[in-house]
Amino acid sequence: MSAADGRVGRFYTAARRHPWVLGKVADWKIPLGPYTPAQIAVAVGGGFLLIKTIGWWSWMGPVPIVAWVRFTAVPSDELYWLTSSAEGTALVHEILHDGRKHGAGLLAGSHDADELGPDRGLMAYRALARTTDRERARRGLEFVGLDPNNPELLRLVTTGLSPVGQKGREGEFLLTCPRQNTGRVKVTIPRIKRITTSITTTPGRRPSPASPSTPEPLTGDAADAPPKEQTA
């Protein structure tokens, strides 16, 4: 074979086909594109379905999903179960420090103000219910921003709020708001069956779903002047 003939080499490879995509419309570049036909079809179909079922999923009316902003409470009664351990205290610490930007807050309850943990000063709204222990009452008064050594306030917290045995006086609290204004409030059980049948934890005292307790006007000690002028 002469040099003029040479050798011929042939390579056979599979042709590569790129899928059709849409990334621009005229001079406008589609955000986060380009998109394949399947992605475009899913987006169009999904948008159509959301519009048709807007009455099912939109609790704010016909608004975009991005407008949904809903506060989430993290209820934690008897908080000492958390604050008695390092891991639980760290969890409470994280919620109190970082919960606001995530639309969440801590709804905590305890038998003693000290059991709320070292970060309890970050709690904006504070409530104090009756306690017969004077030392716990003092710590509670200090927590809500009142004078812990005021004898009238001590009497109010130990005996005046929701007196034992007086029907209709349940649910009385001292409530302090972020502006350090303190007043007396009464919490009543709403007439909602799923709540009235489960809210009471005292054995043998679950109210009837058909006849929840009806709030009565405050009388006697409960009619005393509110302690808001005692706020710090």
Helices (H), 132-208: 134-143, 151-155, 193-196
Q: What confidence tens digit (pLDDT) does each residue in 70-81 have?
A: 788 889 889 999
On whether both 80 and 172 belong to a single domain, the answer is yes
Q: What are phi and psi of 186, to 5 degrees?
A: -130, 125
Instruction: Look at residue 18 and tell me if it is in a domain.
Output: no
Structurally, how many domains does the chain consist of?
Answer: 2
Looking at the fold, whether 90 and 104 belong to one and the same domain comes out as yes
Residues 52 and 125 in one domain: no
Considering the domain architecture, whether residues 105 and 199 belong to the same structural domain is answered as yes
- Residue 49: its pLDDT value, please? 80
Q: Cβ neighbours of residue 115 under 8 Å, at least 6 residues apart?
A: 79, 80, 83, 84
Element (H or E) spanning 174, and its range? Answer: strand 172-176
Instruction: Report whether 91 contacts 82 (CB < 8 A).
Output: yes
Specify whether 55 is located in the same domain as 142: no
Asked whether residue 216 is assigned to any structural domain, the reply reads yes
Identify the sign of the CA torsion 216, 217, 220, 224.
positive
Nearest residue to 125 via CA among 51, 187, 50: 187
Q: Which of 66, 96, 126 is where one domain is finished?
A: 66
The verdict on residue 141 lying in a domain is yes
Q: What is the pLDDT of residues 149-183, one digit of tens each?
A: 999 999 999 999 999 888 889 899 999 999 889 99
Phi, psi of 62 (to 5 degrees): -75, 75
Residue ranges of the chain with per-residue pLDDT less than 50:
209-216, 218, 222, 225, 227-232
58 and 79 fall within a common domain: no
Looking at the fold, whether 43 and 116 belong to one and the same domain comes out as no
Q: What is the pLDDT of residue 167?
A: 87
Residues 139, 201: one domain?
yes
Using the structure block, give the residue that is written with the tokens 């604050």.
Answer: 83
Last residue of a domain, one of 40, 66, 92: 66
Report CA-CA distances (Å) from 227 to 65, 104, 137.
45, 31, 15
Q: Which domain does 168 fall in, by range?
A: 70-230
Claim to verify: residue 207 and residue 136 sit in the same structural domain: yes
Please state the pTM of the whole predicted model: 0.57
In a shared domain, residues 205 and 167? yes
